[in-house]
Homo-oligomer: A and B are copies of this chain.
Amino acid sequence: MTLKSATPDFIDSLRAVLPDAAFREAAPRYFEEPRGRWQGQGVIVAPGDAEGVAQVVRACAGARVPIVPYGGGTGLVGGQIAPDGPVPVILSLERMRAVRGLWPGENVVVVEAGAILQDIHEAAEAAGRLFPLSIAAKGSARIGGLLGTNAGGVNVLRYGNARDLCLGLEAVLPDGRIWHGLKRLRKDNTGYDLRNLLIGSEGTLGVITAAALKLAPRPAGEGTALMAVAGARAALDLLAMARDHMGEGISAFEIIHRQGLDFLAETLPDIRQPFAEPPEWCVLIDVGLARGLDPAAALETLFAEGFEAGLVHDGMVAQSQAQRHAFWEVREQIPEANRRIGSVSSHDISLPLSVIPEFIARGTGVIAGIGDFRVNCFGHLGDGNLHYNVFPMPGRTRADHVAERDAIKRAVHDLVHEMGGSVSAEHGIGRLKVGDLERYGDPVKLDAMRAIKAALDPVGIMNPGAVLRAGG
């Protein structure tokens, strides 16, 4: 069924039912995305409540006008951008930012979809609790988009992905009706898991308008260490050792390659380098432990046993909050350093933990077979999630390698797929990886997805072209 553009007449019909505040100027930020691959189009509509969202969806369904749900605009795969086709309504949740309720005794908060992640962090902290989802873009990412894309980040190892932190949803389905599913329950086996179906569907099955989220107790004490490891296999052995010591107390276990430290030194020289001589591989370990345990002492014990076992050869345990922040600053500024260098091809991949050392070894060979490049491999090792990014050699730029870009991406993704991994660990499919999903996705699952999409959104108005090919 053919979709139609949001014409001035159509927008006028919306003006008749929504307040003026719902109509926003078409500022450039709505049409840009962080990596600059696409330029979007659309008419911005920002309802103030779920009923307003429902009115927009009903109107669009009636007129066959496409809708692109819009959160913080921080997505990296173009799910929030409509570069072509009929002009859509950009349905922004920015005016729906309320914390509807917070129950510290239940460890639950209910927030509207437009709430910014950092604000949720602060609301939880004010109640003596922790909302563990954390990503670099936390100052602008909104919870509706974080759930729509099932965001990951640095604390997945301990607390899970966005979907694992959601107890219930309120959402507008493609027919414009509101599903009131904001349950604050840990156990609820009453029918199909519509919540998890919407989470990660990237706005193609409905619009999340509010969510009931899990909070966690704040650990009694926290600690951070950087340890130089002999390689990826040693890093994994160290992770297993850390789990034997501290169980779920390990909040993050990040791997950093020397290439990342070198890029930092080159592009952001003000950031203090932690090691006098950058090791080939190091890990950043963050722990939050129960009362009666000293995180710094536990990390020192881990280092001593890891040293004894030949897994680590250098390292430092943060002795203050300032040091913890300094260690994390190194990890968190690596993406910025990468941006300044300019990657030829970036890959957000995951693998079964035990094959990661083999993947890294084979990946080196695969890239070398294509040309001379620098690889910065870093990320959430504890989750098997690597950011495997390929850069030009010194003196060259990404523009010099346009011709090799597709071949690199294909080769890396083919290898990941062959080894049982995923070509989109935490960023989603959006518009960038529709072809990858078709190539690597299980055909039976893809057909089931298409059947579900057709059943819930028969007109195809919800974010057409994201995840699944439009009209496909």
Binding site for B on A (CB under 8 A): 103-108, 149-150, 152, 156-157, 160-161, 163-164, 173, 177-181, 183-194, 196-197, 199-201, 205, 216-217, 219-220, 236-237, 240, 243-249, 288-293, 298, 350-354, 380, 382-385, 420-429, 433, 436-437, 440-442, 444-449, 451-452, 454-456, 467
Q: Is the CB of A422 within 8 A of B185?
A: yes
Q: Is the CB of A246 within 8 A of B425?
A: no
Residues of B within 8 A of A190 (CB): 422-424, 429, 433, 436-437, 440-441
Residues of B within 8 A of A441 (CB): 190-191
Complex CA gap A428/B237 in Å reads 40
Distance (Å) between the CB of A175 and the closest chain B CB? 8
Partner of A197, one of B186, B196, B351: B196
Q: Is the CB of B291 within 8 A of A186?
A: no
Partner of A186, one of B106, B216, B243, B383: B383
Q: Is the CB of A290 within 8 A of B187?
A: no
Closest A-B pairs by Cβ, 6 of them: A455-B455, A196-B196, A188-B422, A184-B352, A187-B425, A451-B455
Complex CA gap A421/B433 in Å reads 40
Q: Is the CB of A454 within 8 A of B452?
A: no
Residues of B within 8 A of A353 (CB): 103, 105-106, 184
Distance (Å) between the CB of A219 and the closest chain B CB? 6
Given known A191-B437, A289-B290, contact A452–B449 (CB-CB < 8 A):
no
Complex CA gap A420/B186 in Å reads 12
Residues of B within 8 A of A456 (CB): 448, 451-452
Distance (Å) between the CB of A220 and the closest chain B CB? 7
Complex CA gap A196/B452 in Å reads 14
Distance (Å) between the CB of A236 and the closest chain B CB? 6
28 A–B contact pairs at CB < 8 A?
A105-B353, A106-B352, A149-B189, A156-B186, A163-B193, A185-B350, A185-B351, A185-B352, A185-B422, A186-B350, A186-B382, A186-B383, A187-B380, A188-B425, A189-B422, A189-B428, A190-B433, A190-B440, A191-B446, A192-B205, A193-B196, A194-B448, A217-B243, A220-B244, A220-B247, A245-B291, A247-B248, A247-B249
Complex CA gap A354/B107 in Å reads 10
Q: Is the CB of B454 within 8 A of A183?
A: no
Which residue of B has the minimal Cβ distance to A421?
B185
Which residue of B has the minimal Cβ distance to A291?
B245
Q: Is the CB of A384 within 8 A of B187?
A: yes
Residues of B within 8 A of A447 (CB): 177
Q: Is the CB of A189 within 8 A of B240?
A: no
Distance (Å) between the CB of A43 and the closest chain B CB? 26
Complex CA gap A382/B220 in Å reads 20
Residues of B within 8 A of A244 (CB): 217, 220, 291
Complex CA gap A31/B351 in Å reads 43
Distance (Å) between the CB of A144 and the closest chain B CB? 16
Complex CA gap A216/B382 in Å reads 13
Partner of A187, one of B183, B217, B385, B429: B385
Which residue of B has the minimal Cβ distance to A239?
B105
Complex CA gap A436/B446 in Å reads 33
Partner of A192, one of B184, B197, B444: B197
Distance (Å) between the CB of A181 and the closest chain B CB? 6
Complex CA gap A133/B374 in Å reads 45
Partner of A219, one of B164, B181, B247, B298: B247
Q: Is the CB of A442 within 8 A of B219?
A: no
Distance (Å) between the CB of A103 and the closest chain B CB? 5
Residues of B within 8 A of A249 (CB): 247-248, 290
Residues of B within 8 A of A199 (CB): 193
Distance (Å) between the CB of A155 and the closest chain B CB? 12
Q: Is the CB of B350 within 8 A of A187?
A: yes
Distance (Å) between the CB of A427 and the closest chain B CB? 7
Given contacts A185-B351, A187-B383, A248-B248, 17 further A-B contacts (CB under 8 A): A150-B189, A161-B187, A163-B196, A185-B350, A190-B424, A190-B437, A191-B200, A191-B446, A192-B448, A193-B197, A193-B199, A197-B197, A245-B291, A247-B289, A248-B249, A290-B293, A452-B452
